[in-house]
Amino acid sequence: MDTFLTILWTARYALLGGLAMTVFISALAVLAGSVIGVFVGLVLSYARGPLNWLVRMYVDFVRGTPVLVLILASFYILGSLGWKLDAFQAGILALAVFCSSHVGEIIRGALSAIPRGQTEAAKAVGLTFGQSFTYVLLPQAARIALPAWVNTAVEIVKASTLLSIIGVAELLLSTQEVIARSQMGLPFYFLAGFIYFLVNFAIERVGKLAEKRLAMGVR
């Protein structure tokens, strides 16, 4: 136990840096993925013809491919095409793409759960499509989508560990480096698992709180 604490103290900055990287990567991927995902959901819900098919194919292709394959493909392919992306950028790109396909489906589902009468009422009071979307549909869709969106955020935090495989120094890779030096796999893997659990547990709790706050008044 003593040696563990000594090593932990020596490695504290490496591990905290890894944690910060994990949080940063996840936040960026969720943010970018959600912005793209809202557009994906809009296209899936309202566009007709080739644009709809293209986006549908994008979503199905991404959802049918394991995240690890997305990450490896993004890492190797972009480099060979001459895009100078480092592992960090390629990894975030892959996670954002993964996130966008999930958020897209969530938004599509949420929009289809809003009664048609809402759109018709908005049209009847003279709102344009843009206005009725921003003021009527989006707030309701956001509430419906919130629980699934929180789950996606947890999935992204978990998927961010896969970036360790392409060499991004997030929490798991920092932990593995400490383990390689100290030969103490058991306590340090345990610690990493515990920290991930705490981060995701916190996200879940905040999500539940937000859900309660935003719960629709009339039921």
Partner 1 sequence: MGYTLNFAAVWRDIDLLWAGLGMGLLLALASILIGVAIGLVMAFVLTSRSPARPLAASYVSIFRNTPLLVLILFTYFAMPQLGIRLGKLESFIAALSLYAGAYLAEVFRGALSAVPPGLSEAGLAIGLTRSQIRLNIVIPVMLRTALPSLSSTFISLFKDTSLAAAIAVPELTYYARKINNESFRVIETWLIASIFYVATCVLLVSLLRLAEKRLAIPK
Answer yes or no whether residue 4 interacts with partner 1 by CB under 8 A.
no
Task: Rank residues 34 and 164 by Cβ distance to partner 1 and give the closer one.
Answer: 164
What's the min distance (Å) between Cβ of 83 and partner 1? 10
Task: Rank residues 140 and 200 by Cβ distance to partner 1 and give the closer one.
Answer: 200
Task: Rank residues 40 and 94 by Cβ distance to partner 1 and give the closer one.
Answer: 94
Q: Which residue among 12, 54, 60, 135 contacts partner 1 (CB under 8 A)?
A: 60
What's the min distance (Å) between Cβ of 141 and partner 1? 22
Answer yes or no whether residue 158 interacts with partner 1 by CB under 8 A.
yes
How many CB atoms neighbour CB 31 within 10 A? 12
Q: Which residue among 82, 115, 117, 130 contacts partner 1 (CB under 8 A)?
A: 82
Stretch that binds partner 1, among 7-15, 37-45, 99-107, 152-160 (CB under 8 A): 152-160
Answer yes or no whether residue 65 interacts with partner 1 by CB under 8 A.
yes
Answer yes or no whether residue 164 interacts with partner 1 by CB under 8 A.
yes
Q: Which residue among 103, 146, 154, 178 contacts partner 1 (CB under 8 A)?
A: 154
List, as one string, the DSSP characters of the chain: -HHHHHHHHHTHHHHHHHHHHHHHHHHHHHHHHHHHHHHHHHHHHH--THHHHHHHHHHHHHHHS-HHHHHHHHHHHHHHTT----HHHHHHHHHHHHHHHHHHHHHHHHHHTS-HHHHHHHHHTT--HHHHIIIIIHHHHHHHHHHHHHHHHHHHHHHGGGGGGGT--SHHHHHHHHHHHH--HHHHHHHHHHHHHHHHHHHHHHHHHHHHHH--S--
What's the min distance (Å) between Cβ of 34 and partner 1? 20
Residues with Cβ within 8 Å of 144's Cβ and at least 6 positions away in sequence, in order, are 109, 110, 113, 114
Residues that bind partner 1 (CB under 8 A): 60-61, 63-69, 72-73, 76-77, 79-82, 154, 157-162, 164-165, 172, 176, 179, 185-186, 189-190, 192-193, 196-197, 200-201, 204
